[in-house]
Structure 1
Amino acid sequence: MENYRHILAAVDLAPGEDPVTGRAAALARQYGARLSLLHVVEYVPPLDLAYDPVVPMGVDIENQLMDRARAELEKRLAWVGVEGTQTHVEAGSPKREIVRFAREHEVDLIVVGTHGRHGLSLLLGATANGVLHHAPCDVLAVRIPEEAGDG
C-alpha cells in the first residue's frame, strides 16, 4: 500500500453528515499526510436574455456562491483535526477542476463521494466517474448515504 503524502477531499457541501471529509481526514492522520479540502462551484447562469448588463449578473452570483463555499469549508476545519489543512474553492466543472487541482498540487489520493445506485455511472455519479477516469493518482470512492446528499 502506498504512503500518501497529499490527500484531496472533493467536498460537495451538502447539509448533514460529510463522510468524504471524515474519511479523508482519517487517512491524512493515518499517513501523516497533508490534507486539502476542495469545493467546486458549478454555477449555471439563468437563461434570461432580456438583460444585457455591462457586468453580467452571473458573475456576482458566482462570487456569492464562492464566498459561501469558502465560509462553509472554514467551518469544517474546526472538526477535521488535521493540522495544516487547506481549503480551496474553484469555479467550473467539478470533475475537471478536481483533476486539475490534483495535477497542479501533487495530490496522490483523491477522496470523492458515491451515490450507491445502479450501474457504474449512477453508482459513482458523473463527478466521481469523471475523476476516476482522468485522475493522475489513486481515487477512493466513499459511499454517501441517501439522506446525506449527493457527492
Structure 2
Amino acid sequence: MTRETKLILCPLNLRHIKHDYAAYEEAVEMAQRRGAKLIVTTVAPEIERNMNIYDSDAYWGQELRKFIQAHPAEGVDVELIVRKGAVHRQIVKLARERKVDLIVMEAANPKIQDYLLGTTASHVVAHAYCSVYVVR
C-alpha cells in the first residue's frame, strides 16, 4: 500500500537559485500529481553578512515571493516560510513541526570540508522523520 502524500516541503537556497532550481520543479510536479500542498522555505542566517540587509525576515521573504511569482506552481496550494538559523536543523525542525510527508531538496556539490562535516542534505536525510527526495 502506498503512502499518501499531502504535504511536501521544499527548502530553497535563494543565494544560488539563479543557477539551479530543479528540486523546486520536481516538488511542484510531485505536488500536482499527488494533490499535495507545497511548503517552500528558505533559511536566513542568524547574522547577515550583508550589512545592507537590516531585516532579514522581510528581505528573504520578499526574495522568496519574487521567486514564486517568477516560477508559479500551477494548481498547487503553496505556503512560503522564512526561518533563521542553521539550515540543516531548521529544515528538519520545520518538517517535524508541520508533520511533512516528504522533503524535496537539492544536493549540493560537496567540497572537501563537507566530507568531514557533512552536507545539509546528508544531515536532513539522517535526521528527518519523513521521506527525503534529493535532486542532483
Task: State the TM-score bracket (shorter-chain normalisation).
Answer: 0.7 to 0.9
1:63-119 CA-to-partner distances (Å, cap 9, x unmatched) read 533222111211232322243200000000111111110011010100111135589
1:94-146 CA-to-partner distances (Å, cap 9, x unmatched) read 11111110011010100111135589x55xx6111111110010000011xxx
Contact in 2 for aligned 1:35/1:82 (Cα 8 Å): no
Q: Percent identity?
A: 28
Q: 1:38 — aligned with what? A: 41
Contact in 2 for aligned 1:109/1:139 (Cα 8 Å): yes
Q: 1:126 — aligned with what? A: 119
Separation in structure 2 between the aligned mates of residue 93 and residue 85 of structure 1, nearest angstrom? 23
Q: Structure 1: which amino acid aligns with 2:91?
A: I
- Count of paired positions: 127
**RMSD (Å), alpha carbons:** 2.4
Separation in structure 1 between the aligned mates of residue 68 and residue 83 of structure 2, nearest angstrom? 18
Separation in structure 2 between the aligned mates of residue 139 and residue 116 of structure 1, nearest angstrom? 17
1:11 matched to 2:2: no
Q: Please say which structure displays the higher CA radius of gyration.
A: 1
1:23 matched to 2:16: no
**SS of alignment partner, residue 80 of structure 1:** coil
Contact in 2 for aligned 1:5/1:32 (Cα 8 Å): yes
Greater CA deviation, 10-19 or 104-113?
Answer: 10-19
1:31-58 CA-to-partner distances (Å, cap 9, x unmatched) read 0001000100124467xxxxxxxxxxx8
Q: Structure 2: which amino acid aligns with 1:74?
A: R
Map residues 57-72 of structure 1 onto 2, 5 A cutoff. 61=53, 64-72=55-63
Contact in 2 for aligned 1:11/1:37 (Cα 8 Å): yes
Separation in structure 1 between the aligned mates of residue 44 and residue 110 of structure 2, nearest angstrom? 24
TM-score normalised according to structure 1 size: 0.73
1:98 matched to 2:91: yes
Separation in structure 2 between the aligned mates of residue 10 and residue 106 of structure 1, nearest angstrom? 15
Which of the numbers 80, 87, 103 marks the counterpart of 2:80? 87
